[in-house]
Structure formats: C-alpha cells, structure tokens
C-alpha cells in the first residue's frame, strides 16, 4: 500500500488525505475484515509526516488453548518518512537505528509501518477467555471443550510456599520479617 506524494512535495505544509476501508493483507498478520485508515500525509520540509487513526481486527491464537481469537485494534499513527537518499536517512541507517522509514520517487510505502504498529499492539498474552483452561499437557485435549482422562501429576512439595503466593493468599509466616529484639 502506498501514497503518492508528488502533489504535496512542492511546498512545505501541504497535506493530503489518504483513506482506506477494504480488506488488506500484511505478511505475518491475519487481519479479519477491513483495515480502516484515515490518514493525513503532510510535507514537513525535509520529511513527510503520516498521522491518523487505524482500525482493524486481527486473528491470533489463544496462548493457552490455540483456538483463534479476534482482537479489535484502534491505533493512532504518527510517523515520519525521510527521503531515502537524504543525509539523515543514511546516518540513521549507518547507526542501525530502527524505526527509520524512507520514501523515494514521490511515493510513501505504508506496509512496514502498518505491520510494525499492528504487531506492537498485539496483547502480550492473547486469551480466548480470562478463564481459559488451555490444553492438557499430557494428551493435548482442549480442556475448555472436553475432560480428558489423564491423571494430574502431583506437585513437588518444595514449591508449596510459592504456590501460596501465586494463589493470591497472604505471605507465608516463614517469609514475614521479624522485628529486631531490643
């Protein structure tokens, strides 16, 4: 996906709108339904600014049970693009600074910006439901849909004190600090 900018390169401050409300494919991202963009592309002198909202729904696997889950995303884009052969772009490339977007031939390509912004908005832990039971670690059955016949392993008693902490219970007596004797 690209935006032609030949018409705004003539003068600093000129801007144009770029709207998109159709399905779109990005490598490595499963977008469900249309990708919606309402962007403003502005000539900012030595660079071009791309700003505006992005709306999409992405399909991700649940981290516990691997079932597909659709997550709606609403992002605000704000990024600068430098001319590909500009001194600043070459310096940034030489210094290996990530996040430098460039343009050439009066065309701003949006694909990498969209991919990075959408991936950065993915949830850290994608869950189908907060109480997802996941997969049985022995037979692989989806415990949300069926009960398997596997016998759960007994936990190692050496970890019992930590189990109390993760269960949201109070701090075990052995972990409480003692007041110094006077």
Helix (H) or strand (E) holding 118: helix 111-120
Write out pLDDT tens, residues 108-145: 999 999 999 999 999 999 999 999 999 998 888 999 99
pLDDT at 98: 60
> How does DSSP assign 2-30, residue by residue?
EEE-TTTTTSTT-EEEEEEEE---BTTB-
Over pLDDT 90: what percentage of the chain? Answer: 46
pLDDT of residue 100: 78
Decide: 139 and 145 in contact? Cβ < 8 Å.
no
pLDDT at 64 over 70: yes
What average pLDDT score do residues 150-166 get? Answer: 75
Compute the mean pLDDT over every residue in the chain, rounded to the nearest whole number: 83
Task: Extract the runs of DSSP E, i.e. beta strands, from 44-164.
Answer: 48-61, 68-83, 101-103, 107-109
pLDDT at 95: 55
Domain ranges of the chain: 2-120
| pTM, 2 dp | 0.72
pLDDT at 57: 94
Confidence of residue 86 (pLDDT cuts 50, 70, 90): low
From the centroid of its chain, how far is CA 9? 32
What pLDDT digit, counting tens, does each position of 35-57 carry?
999 999 999 888 899 999 999 99
* Rounded distance between C-alpha atoms, residue 57 and residue 74, angstroms: 9
């Amino acid at each position: 996906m690209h935006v032609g900018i030949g018409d705004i390169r003539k003068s600093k401050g000129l801007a144009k709108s770029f709207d998109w409300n159709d399905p779109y494919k990005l490598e490595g991202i499963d977008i469900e339904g249309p990708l919606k963009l309402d962007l403003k592309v502005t000539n900012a002198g030595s660079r071009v600014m791309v700003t505006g909202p992005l709306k999409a729904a992405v399909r991700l696997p649940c981290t516990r049970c691997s079932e597909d889950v659709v997550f709606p995303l609403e992002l605000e884009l704000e990024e600068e693009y430098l001319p590909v052969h500009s001194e600043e772009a070459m310096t940034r490339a030489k210094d290996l600074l990530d996040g430098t977007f460039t343009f050439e031939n009066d065309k701003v390509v949006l694909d990498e910006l969209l991919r990075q912004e959408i991936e950065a908005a993915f949830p850290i832990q994608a869950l189908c439901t907060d109480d997802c039971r996941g997969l049985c670690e022995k037979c692989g059955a989806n415990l949300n849909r069926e009960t398997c016949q596997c016998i759960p392993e007994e936990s190692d008693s050496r970890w019992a004190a930590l189990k109390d902490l993760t269960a949201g219970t109070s701090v075990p007596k052995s972990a409480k600090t003692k007041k110094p004797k006077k």
